[in-house]
Amino acid sequence: MSILVDENTKLIVQGITGRDGSFHAARMKEYGTKVVAGVTPGKGGSSVDDIPVFDAVAEATEATGANTSIIFVPVAFAADAVYEAVDAGLALVVIITEGIPVADMNKIYHHAAERGARFVGPNSPGLISPGKAKVGIMPARIHEPGGVGVVSRSGTLTYEVVYSLTRADLGQSTCLGIGGDPVIGTGFIDCLGMFEADAETRAVVLIGEIGGDDEERAAEYIKAAMSKPVVSFIAGRTAPPGKRMGHAGAIISGGAGTAEGKREALTAAGVGVADTPSAIPAMVKEALGLPAD
């Protein structure tokens, strides 16, 4: 099993005729994902890597039976692209685009919730269920199928941790980048609940960073509702207050959102907190009762 994407995922790529959309559509298809259509207004009837292109998401969905969309649309048009995907009835929308205004994302959040749709992102690298489907820009070669779920606010840290897990013979059920913007569609608690319910997932790695209180709220959820072990890492221990570090949501404000505060909350919930990403595999093995290398 896995969460959110698997061999039954039928994917539409919005913005497929652009540079990034065409490149990653080909990589996802090469991995084995069922990329059934692309959408670019005015380009209907053409194709990219033998993937048919449609003018509208509703048209593509009706023709292909798609259930998922990924958005590589430029930021000026990205919000409209999300609305189009949700209104077409797609169950999952993955937003790679970054820089969508917070006011737009607030409206999208409620619009998607009203229609029963889930979105991941924005500013997300997407997700991958190794051996089943890749929906995003994650490098496929570092992933291996297995029982460790990975959820992260940082794309590049995700790759580092996954590579370390794979080298330690700890394969992954699903790896998910939730995005680093202030308003996102799928958070830590959503993913933790899905991993808890997934029979294949035996342990979870949570990668957080400074800013907001998502990690603190995740710690409360883990303590109350998780039976599976969780290991974590928090980026930004040396970040100065008031200075944004990379992601729009990674900022210490008013003394809240510090790495130390997050570490304390997770530790109090029984979550192992690694000092470095490379320490995570050994901690996962210990949590699962597996022999160390």
Q: Which residue has the higher pLDDT, 72 or 293?
A: 72
Cα–Cα dist 169/263, whole Å: 27
Mean pLDDT for all residues in the chain: 93
Sheet holding 68-71, edge to edge: 47-48, 51-54, 34-39, 10-14, 68-71, 92-95, 118-120
Question: In angstroms, rounded to a whole number, what is the distance separating the alpha carbons of residues 41 and 186?
Answer: 28
Q: How far apart are CA 179 and CA 170, in angstroms?
A: 24
Each residue of 246-258: pLDDT tens digit? 544 444 444 457 8
Q: Is the pTM of this model over 0.75?
A: yes
Mean pLDDT on 10-19: 98
Token pair belonging to 147: 């029982």
Report whether the peptide linkage leading into residue 281 is cis, meaning its omega lies within 30 degrees of zero.
no
Query: For residues 59 and 36, is the Cβ–Cβ distance under 8 A?
Result: no
Domains and CATH numbers, the chain: 10-120 (3.40.50.720), 139-288 (3.40.50.261)
From the candidates 110, 111, 143, 247, give the one annotated as an active-site residue: 247
Is 247 one of the annotated active-site residues of the chain? yes
Rounded Cα distance between 165 and 171, Å, is 7
Q: What is the pLDDT of residue 237?
A: 67
Distance separating alpha carbons of residues 57 and 66, to the nearest angstrom: 9
